[in-house]
Amino acid sequence: MNDCIFCKIINNEIPSEKVYSDDEIVAFKDIQPQAPTHILVIPKKHIEGADMLTPGEDTELAGRLILTAARIAEQFHLEKGYRIQTNVGEHGCQTVRHIHFHLLGGKQLN
């Protein structure tokens, strides 16, 4: 996607503070954090949202995204708890149409 900000981050066209990267996944700090720890975990493959995941084809990737978020939570010492969240579509407040998981923690969340 030429105009996708997350694809531009993946391609190093826009700077980000990456905390994790492998062949399929990138994680970076959110530029407008909603918690002391706020990291976005995204696939390198452009998928618009959870509503666009393909059963079978994307099943393993979807699981890896959540497991990666959990491993990053360990690295950031979020032992007291954290939230993994994804928003879907306009009414779900998804502002970037590239599937991403928010890892939020570091304080008591409301």
Q: Give the active site residues.
A: 100
Residue with the two structure tokens 């990666």: 68
Exposure string over 67-79, b if 16+ CB within 10 A, otherwise e: ebbeebbeebebe
Q: Please classify residue 48 by burial: count the beta carbons closer than 10 Å to its beta carbon, then call 0-12 exposed, 13-18 middle and 19+ buried.
A: middle
Name residues whose C-beta falls within 8 Å of residue 58's C-beta, 6 or more positions apart in sequence. Answer: 47
